[in-house]
Amino acid sequence: MMDIKAANVGQISSIDTMLSPKELFLFGMQHIAAMCAGAMAVPIILGNSLGMTYDQISILVAASFMMAGLGTIIQTLGIGKKIGSRLPMVEGVSFAGVAALSAVGVAYRDADPVMGIQVMMGATIISGVFCIVVAPVFGKLLKFFPPLVSGVVVTCMGLSLIPVAIRWIGGGNPSAENFGNFKSILLAGITLIIIVGIQKISKGFLGNIAILLGIIAGTLIAIPMGMVEFSNVSEAGIFNLNTPLYFGMPKFDITAVLSLFLVQLVIMTDATGNQLNLSNICKADEKDEGRLVAGLRAHGLSSVLGGLFNTFPHSLFGQNVGIAAITGVSSRFVGTAAGVMLLAVSFFPKLINILTSIPEPVLGGAGIIMFGIVAANGIKRLGEVNYNGNKNLMIVATSIGIALIPIAVPEFFKHFPSWGKILFQSPVTLGCLSVLILNIIFNELGKSKK
- Distance, CA of 371 to CA of 224 (rounded, Å): 28
Domain ranges of the chain: 21-444
Give the predicted TM-score (pTM) of the model: 0.81
The Cα 444–Cα 290 span in angstroms is 23
In angstroms, the CA 264 to CA 300 distance is 9
10 pLDDT above the threshold of 60: no
CB 318 within 8 A of CB 26: no
Nearest one of 404, 435, 422, 414 to 162, comparing CA atoms? 404
Burial class (CB in 10 A: 0-12, 13-18, 19+), 285: exposed
373, containing H or E segment: helix 360-382
Instruction: Tell me which residue of 409, 439, 379, 307 sits closest to 156, measured CA to CA.
Output: 379
Structural Rg of the chain based on CA atoms: 21
Sign for the pseudo-dihedral over CA of 242, 337, 190, 234 = positive
pLDDT surpasses 70 at 59: yes
Question: pLDDT tens digits for 97-150?
Answer: 887 787 787 778 777 888 989 999 999 999 999 999 999 998 888 888 888 998
- Measured distance CA(53)–CA(90) in Å, rounded: 29
Q: How far is CA 107 from the centre of its chain?
A: 27
pLDDT computed for residue 1 by the predictor: 31
For the stretch 279-317, pLDDT in tens is: 988 888 877 888 999 999 999 999 999 999 999 998 888
